[in-house]
Structure 1
Amino acid sequence: MPVAPVLIVVGIALVDVIGGSGMFWLPLLAAGPALAASTNGPRGVLCVGSLAAVLGATLGAQEAAPGRELPAVLSALVAVTLAGALASALRGRRERVLAAVRSVAEAAQHAVLKPIPETVGPFRVAVRYSAAAAEARIGGDLYALVPTPHGVRLIVGDVRGKGLPAVEIAALVLGVFREAAYDEPDLLAVVARIERSLARNLGPDDFVTAIVVGHPRAGQLEVVNCGHAPPLLITASGVVTVVEATRPAPPLGLRVLVDEPPCLEILPFAYGDQLLLYTDGVIEARDRAREFYPLAERVARHASGDPEHILSAVHDELLAHVGGRLHDDAALLLLRMQDVGEPVAPASDEAEEGGAPVREPEGRGGRESVPVESRTRSLDLFPSAAGR
């Protein structure tokens, strides 16, 4: 028996008895079954309606209601009860359909955006993802991290647009990446495979910004940025660095606009360093004053050795910044090289004795790659953290 609707019906009946105002209050008994229709199933609505009809008939008889007044009130109660039961049945059906759709969306999320373990190879990983579409679990942002024979590789990207078309393109990019990451020893070849696939499947106005990262050997990362927001490097000493691309490449799907291929760059990455990759839904989020979310500043404020703690704090602040709901898909992926002494999986290539020098990978055909460290913008936003 629905509690609140029953209390309303009983309360109206008591008011009528105490007030002694004849039939004045009895039509309000219809509020009980009407409320039950919005919160309970058809059986609950019928129970409340039956109670209201019995009380209405009893009080009407005691008060000697004139002529057709009591039958009119009871007819209204019956009509509201039947209509409420029908509405409750339809609402229950819609809720079951929505639950089924949500379960399909959750399955699609696990198929497209597969969960990433907390530890992958030598890295600790944390991920946060929020889709902008109402009731959606996935959107146009994408990420994947896979261990391969060529080292751990990952991608973070953003598809132009939202909704189901963006999800379809994101699934395509992730499928090609997961296959190419295993097959291709060269990270640029992985990017080329994705580009060729998109060229066959994208519309004229579609494109994907993406950043592809590889860890071929200890002490360094390979980075290919295709029109994506620059990642943030958090050193073990607490310095936040914006990793700018030396030669920006166009987004995936727009290679036909330029003749030059994307540039592979080398990023020194020591134990305790962390790399934060994100989509523009994070840095373009605005508050009521139309101010952008200051990601680098907030990351510096919450920097620690725990990637999960950093992303939880940043994600909570991001939602608070926009007032609780994002207007664009937002993804955050934080990668941390585990300290010496932490359990790590064997690296694909061992570091050379006495350190991990930055080297040009073999098979690049003489392509020049300048260490990214020499051309990044350093944001020492919490110098007190140095030496932590």
Structure 2
Amino acid sequence: MRPWPWRVWLRCVIDDALLRRQALLRIRGHSVAWVAPLLLLVLITLVDYNTSEKFRIISWIVLVPGIAAAICGVWTTAAFAVVSVVTYIVMDSTYPDEYQAGLPDFILVALGGVLATLACAIRVRGQERMLHMRDIAETTRRTVLRPLPPRWAGLEHAAVYLSADTEARVGGDFYDIQSSPHGTRVLVGDVQGKGLGAVEAAAALLGTFREAGYHEPDLATVAARLEIRMLRHRRHTTALGRDDGDRFATAVLIGIPGDGSDTVDIVNFGHEPPLAVGPDGVRPLPPGGGLPLGMGDLAENSAPPPLTRFPLARAETLLMTTDGVTEARDGNGVYYALDDEVARAVAADPRAAAPRRLVRLVRDGVLRHSGGHLGDDTTIFAIRRLEEGAEEGGLGS
């Protein structure tokens, strides 16, 4: 296998670099960022003191507040700026008059300290803004894509969400598991478009799914409720005068009966069909051929796609992805061969069919194949029935 290219590595590093840097500069909860500029101050002073007048480097002390500005707080940087000026005056005065640098270097050190303090204030303000935006994005992500217990509603599951926007944490992809008195329901989908409008549509669909998926005994009724919700959302955005009134969403709605039968019910709203992955290989489920959510009024009878029942062994995992996976291309424009890569991995090691391993496998494969350049938000979601007696959690919220 080819190693991850440097772009992928850089993307992963930049994402949390500032937060990790702050953690590295703390010991037992106390900041030690001041140590580096202090050592530089001491080093410059000692070298200047122990060399002749022909090797004057005391003016290099202007570097001290500059280093502090990059890693310390505003008040610490200001303190180093003052200490640097005082140290410069003391050290320069120890030389005879003809070797003193005097006013020009004093202005350099003083001005450097002022500029370093201002730069530090700008850096800290930007960093605080970035952390605030990350908190907002993380809250949005948890609202739309709520955390799920590792074993939930009789299912073992795993999920990975990769945003095409390196600064975003959530987009138009969505997934959820809803337990109910009528079995377990699963929804995976992708809202057309990007931005906050796509997030709004995803949140609307998930809210409807969580209510209808719990209360409605018939999966076809849940599908109809989702279609109606998308149409209502479109009418609302149109009434607001927004230009995304024609938005739609592809989705796969899955019903797992609670009677222990080895079957699943699927309603496919124009989405990529799931893959059944087990120790015996990979089995693509037939496409449903239905229209995406929000486009049901284009059908002759305006009815949602038909419900189809498929066999699914207890050892098989259902793998669902959004088009960020199927449309991932390499530098030559070749699409990612999901089925082939999964089949090879399962043939080499049947344990690769486990949800967590399967999701990691597809994630790594997509990133390698695309060189880290994702053309669309990417969701990889896998579910498998738990063994008898292994369930943790009951009827969900």
TM class by smaller structure = 0.7 to 0.9
Instruction: Please give the alpha-carbon distance, in whole angstroms, between the structure 1 residues aligned to 2:337 and 2:138.
Output: 31
Residue correspondence of structure 1 range 112-191 to structure 2 within 5 A = 112-191=144-223
Alpha-carbon displacement from aligned partner over 1:91-145 (angstroms, at most 9, x marks no partner): 2233233323322322222221111222233321112222222332211100011
Residue 390 of structure 2 aligns with which residue? 343
Query: Quick one: which amino acid aligns to residue 296 of structure 1?
Result: D
Residue 352 of structure 1: aligned partner: none
Task: Specify which of 82, 98, 116 is matched with residue 50 of structure 1.
Answer: 82
Matched, 1:317 2:359: no
Secondary structure of residue in 2 paired with 1:102: helix
Counterpart residue number, 2:281: 239
Match of 2:248 among 198, 203, 207: 207
- Contact kept in structure 1, 2:88 and 2:106, CA below 8 Å: yes
Mapped contact 1:269–1:337 kept (Cα < 8 A): no
Instruction: Determine helix, strand or coil for the equivalent of 1:332.
Output: strand
Shift of the alpha carbon at 1:219?
1.6
> Where does structure 1 differ by over 6 angstroms across 4 or more consecutive aligned residues?
345-348
1:372 corresponds to: none
**What amino acid does structure 1 have at the position aligned with 2:77?**
V
CA deviations on 1:211-250 (whole Å, 9 max, x unpaired) are 1111134221111111111111113x4220121225x112
* Paired letter, 1:83: L
The whole-number CA distance in structure 2 between the counterparts of 1:209 and 1:308 is 24
**CA-atom RMSD in angstroms:** 2.8
* Bigger shift: residues 171-180 or 183-192: 183-192
Counterpart amino acid of 2:357? H
1:293 maps onto 2:336 in alignment: yes
CA distance in 2, matches of 1:45, 1:205: 53
Deviations 1:22-70 (A, max 9, x none): 5864443222212211211122212332343233223322334659952
Q: 1:224 to 1:57 in 2, by over 3 A?
A: same
Residue 29 of structure 1 aligns with which residue?
61
Match of residue 382, structure 2, among 317, 327, 334: 334
Identity %: 34
Change (3 A) 1:158 1:65: farther
Calculate the TM-score normalised by the size of structure 1. 0.79
Aligned residues: 345
**Alignment gaps of 5+ in structure 1:** 349-388
Q: 1:63 to 1:287 in 2, by over 3 A?
A: farther
After TM superposition, give the deviation of residue 175 of structure 1 in Å: 0.7
Query: In 2, Cα distance between the equivalents of 1:234 and 1:70?
Result: 77
* Alignment counterpart, residue 262 of structure 2, candidates 219, 235, 248: 219
* Residues 47/123 of structure 1: CA separation in 2 closer, same or farther (3 Å cut): same
Which one is further off, 171-180 or 295-304?
295-304
Contact 1:26 1:73 in 2 (8 A): no
Shift of 1:16: 4.5
Structure with greater helix percent: 2
Matched, 1:257 2:305: no
Range 208-217 or range 28-37, more displaced: 28-37
